[in-house]
A and B are shown apart, each in its own frame.
Chain A
Amino acid sequence: DSGVTQTPKHLITATGQRVTLRCSPRSGDLSVYWYQQSLDQGLQFLIQYYNGEERAKGNILERFSAQQFPDLHSELNLSSLELGDSALYFCASSAWTGLNGNTIYFGEGSWLTVV
């Protein structure tokens, strides 16, 4: 158990819909990351938040957005869903403070299927 909690574990939705994926980081971790894993693209970094503020953006579509709340949990919102958005979405967390050396732990992932 990594200590990173993601919900839901599985989600099936229709094209055009909107879903929200939720993540609770490890206790004490201020940094949260979202990754997408698909068969054709592999593991892609989407976005990083640190203590409520966005720190880095990767290959995140405009239809996707995220935020980190004061209690440090994070949500990834996916809207106008397309078949190609079907993937495994990971949340990860670390005690990152801007320096190297900390470990990054992943949650179990949320499987999203768009039909």
Chain B
Amino acid sequence: AQKITQTQPGMFVQEKEAVTLDCTYDTSDQSYGLFWYKQPSSGEMIFLIYQGSYDEQNATEGRYSLNFQKARKSANLVISASQLGDSAMYFCAMRDTQGGSEKLVFGKGTKLTVNP
């Protein structure tokens, strides 16, 4: 079964600096997808970035980039030039398509605090 591990319960970063949030995954599938979501204190779950297992290049979306290392089974999120509004919970998730259906398996999340 798919498993996502986020080992950093909390991270702190200074405004305007870059930060890396760690995510490792476990799967026996050859084709899979990895997602990052942001959850501010207001509760909504905001899609940030997606990486497919066969994508040759690391995904980027504005200030977000995904450092995908397939051999290490890691998919770390890099946020450049942190802003105060980046303070939130961040979840790494993997698509599980066993049994002809689809669901996301989530990690426990990392709480990011951006300090002024």
- Residues on A close to B: CB < 8 A? 2, 31, 33, 35, 42-43, 45, 48, 50, 55-56, 58, 88, 90, 92, 94, 96, 98, 100-101, 103-109, 111
Interface stretch of the complex, out of B12-20, B68-76, B79-87, B97-105: B97-105
Shortest Cβ gap from B37 to chain A (Å): 7
Q: How far apart are the CA atoms of A45 and B86 in the complex, in Å?
A: 26
How many CB-defined contacts (below 8 Å) exist between A and B? 67
Give the interface of B toward A (CB within 8 A): 31-33, 35, 37, 42-47, 50, 52, 91, 93, 95, 97, 99-106, 108-109
With beta carbons under 8 angstroms apart, the residue of B43, B93, B103 that contacts A58 is: B103
Question: CB within 8 A of B52: which of A45, A58, A101, A104?
Answer: A101
Instruction: Determine if B97 and A100 form an interchain contact, defined as CB atoms under 8 angstroms apart.
Output: yes
Question: Which among B37, B42, B52 has the highest number of chain A CB atoms within 10 Å?
Answer: B37
Q: Which of A100, A101, A104, A109 contacts B44 (CB 8 A)?
A: A109
Partner of A111, one of B43, B97, B101: B43
A39→B37 CA distance, assembly (Å): 17
Q: Answer whether A103 and B47 are a contact pair too, CB < 8 Å, given A43-B91, A55-B101, A56-B99.
A: yes
Which A residues are CB-close (under 8 A) to B100?
55, 98
**26 A–B contacts, CB within 8 A, in A order:** A2-B44, A2-B47, A33-B102, A33-B104, A35-B104, A42-B106, A43-B93, A43-B106, A45-B103, A55-B100, A56-B101, A56-B102, A56-B103, A58-B103, A88-B43, A94-B102, A96-B102, A103-B47, A104-B35, A104-B104, A106-B46, A107-B45, A108-B42, A109-B43, A109-B44, A111-B43
